[in-house]
Amino acid sequence: MSAQILPFHQASRGGEAAAAVEGELSTEPAGDLGAGGIGELCERFLGVCESAVDPLEISSALEFDGLNDKAVRDRYGLTDVFALAEEMHRRVPRRPSEPEPAADPWRTGIVRPVLHGLLYGLPTLFFPAATGLLAGRGVTTVLIVALLTSWGLGQSLAYVGYFRLGRADRAQAARLLRFWMMAGMAAAILPLLLATLAAAAPTPALIFGAGLVAYMLGSTVLMVLGAEQLLLLVLAPGILGATVFLLLGRPARLEHVAWGALAATPVLALVIAAAWTVRETGLPRIVRRASRGAVPPPGGRLRRAEALGALPSAAFGLVAAGLLVFPVAVSVATHGHTDRGALLASLPLSLSMGAAEWTLVWFRRRTQRLLRNCRQARTFARRARLLLLAALLQYLTAAVLLTAAACAIAAETHLARLQREDLPQIIAYLALGLAMFVSLLLQAFGSRIFPVIACTVALALEVAWRGAMPVQVMTCLGLVVVLTAYAALVLANSIGHAM
Task: List per-block mean pLDDT (blocks of 10 residues) for the chain, which spans 499 residues.
Answer: 36 36 38 56 85 83 84 85 88 71 57 71 69 72 86 89 81 89 92 90 88 91 88 88 81 83 91 92 54 48 78 89 78 60 75 83 85 80 91 92 83 74 86 92 89 93 80 90 94 70
**Residue 314 and residue 298 share a domain:** no
State the residue range of the domain holding 411: 310-499
Closest-CA residue to 106 (of 430, 370, 317): 370
Which of 41, 61, 91 represents a domain boundary (last residue)? 91
The C-alpha angle 17, 61, 41, rounded to 5 degrees, equals 65
**Residue 234 and residue 130 share a domain:** yes
**Residue 454 and residue 373 share a domain:** yes
**Residue 170 and residue 258 share a domain:** yes
Let me know if residue 256 belongs to a domain. yes
Let me know if residue 217 belongs to a domain. yes
**Residue 253 and residue 332 share a domain:** no
**Residue 284 and residue 315 share a domain:** no
**Residue 219 and residue 84 share a domain:** no
**Residue 244 and residue 176 share a domain:** yes
Tell me, what amino acid is at 169?
D
**Residue 282 and residue 369 share a domain:** no
DSSP secondary structure of 283-324:
HHHHHHHHHTTPPPPP-SPPPHHHHHHHHHHHHHHHHHHHHH
Let me know if residue 105 belongs to a domain. no
Let me know if residue 70 belongs to a domain. yes
**Residue 368 and residue 325 share a domain:** yes
Q: How many domains does the chain have?
A: 3
Let me know if residue 107 belongs to a domain. no
pLDDT (0 to 100) of residue 291: 47
Who's near 303: CB < 8 A, 6+ residues apart? Answer: none
Which of 60, 91, 122 represents a domain boundary (last residue)? 91
Let me know if residue 25 belongs to a domain. yes
DSSP-derived secondary structure letter, 185:
H
**Residue 254 and residue 182 share a domain:** yes
**Residue 480 and residue 336 share a domain:** yes
Which of 245, 275, 302 represents a domain boundary (last residue)? 302
Let me know if residue 388 belongs to a domain. yes
pLDDT (0 to 100) of residue 390: 94
Who's near 134: CB < 8 A, 6+ residues apart? Answer: 143, 202, 204, 205, 208
pLDDT (0 to 100) of residue 30: 38
Let me know if residue 3 belongs to a domain. no
